[in-house]
Amino acid sequence: MYIAIEGIDTAGKSTQIQKLKEHFSDAVITKEPGATEVGKKIREIVLSAKTKSKKAEFLLFLADRAEHIKEVIEPNHERLIISDRSAVSGVAYALVQGEIEKKELVWLNNFATNGIYPSKIFLLKLTKEELEFRLSQKKLDGIELRGAEYLLNIQEAIIEAAKLLNLELCSIDATKSIDEITKEILNNIN
């Protein structure tokens, strides 16, 4: 089973993945972007926010996604794979940027992934107030510097992206306690 933990920055994806590791010690833990050698370089470029073209940024994500599918997902298809983000995030960011038609987003992602997507997506959903608080507590990267409104738009676009890609989405209130969130994820995996 291939699942993805989705959510905007500071939603608690990394924390939940650590908790899931405790329950599934032999699961393959991965992330997008940056799980492969090529992906690490792509992640650096994207997080530096140096690309001037939003299409170029999107294509970098697609390149990482194709490499991730080939190197991590396909070889481990019979194991539990838990991914920090997935194609859903890539589509969500592109939807917010509005430079690529929806049908093209779907086609390009199908091309990059060979049609391989998580069987279940868990969205850790934040309120505006909680997001602003969490952002105020850390040094911001290039994406986070775009602001709370931008990130909240991404959060809504994640829901739309899952629908476009025809993927099962389980939305979880990310303001709940860490253990409550973990329990909800575990109840929906089994």
pTM reported for the whole predicted model = 0.90
- Quote the number of domains for the chain: 1
Give the domain extent around 184.
2-189
**What gap in Å lies between CA 185 and CA 49, rounded to an integer?**
32
Per-residue pLDDT of the chain (190 residues; tens, 9 = 90+): 999 999 998 899 999 999 999 999 999 999 998 899 999 998 888 777 778 888 888 899 899 999 999 999 999 999 999 999 999 998 998 999 888 999 999 999 999 999 999 999 999 999 999 888 887 877 766 676 677 888 899 999 999 999 999 999 999 999 999 999 999 999 998 6
Cis? peptide before 33, omega within 30° of 0:
yes
What is the CATH classification number for the domain harbouring 39? Answer: 3.40.50.300
